[in-house]
Amino acid sequence: MDIIQELEKVRATLTGTVVTAFDRIIEGLENPNSETEATAYEIIFPLSSDPYIFIGKKPTAVLFGEERVEVKTWRQVYGVILKRCIENPQHYETLLGLRDRIAGRDRVLVSANPDGMRNPTKIAEGLYGETHYGSQTLMYILVERILAPVGFDCSNISIAIIGSRI
């Protein structure tokens, strides 16, 4: 039953994206000199999407259900989501227990201090995450290497990115 609900959510998101794209195309054709024709618009993807789709894209917001948090960088996306995760005391304690145990090839991904990290982001006191990665790798690390082991449910989180006119 959970799989069906998840598929329905993804279908609704994709349907909304397609409808928005067609609305922009029609508006551009009806008003070729309008200001909106040349402007970019947002495309919303579930956080659980293949992180490959984020390569070369600029994030504009993280959506927690209907709540919107504005962001400008992938590092901010990472920080906003992890800060939401640690609002749950159980997830916070689990993440603290994983400090210095989740590592990449060269550096630790979550640590008690920023020493040895190239681009640390402070999540909370005594909790830092490494963000010196591209969008695809950073989102993979966030979802698969950090949030999944913590048990954080990502199903209601989406990322708004800047899209271009079709």
DSSP 52-91: GGGTT--EEEEEETTEEEE-SSHHHHHHHHHHHHTTSHHH
**φ, ψ for residue 158, nearest 5 deg:** -130, 160
Is the per-residue pLDDT at 38 higher than 50? no
How remote is the C-alpha of 166 from its chain's centroid? 23
- Residues 143-161: pLDDT tens digits? 999 999 999 999 899 999 9
Q: What angle do CA 107, 124, 93 make, to 5 degrees?
A: 85
CB 124 within 8 A of CB 130: no
pLDDT number for residue 32: 65
Q: Which residues pair with 128 in a beta bridge?
A: 111, 122
pLDDT number for residue 165: 47
Put simply, whether the predicted model's pTM sits higher than 0.85 gets the answer: no
pLDDT number for residue 95: 94
More confidently predicted of 15 and 78: 78
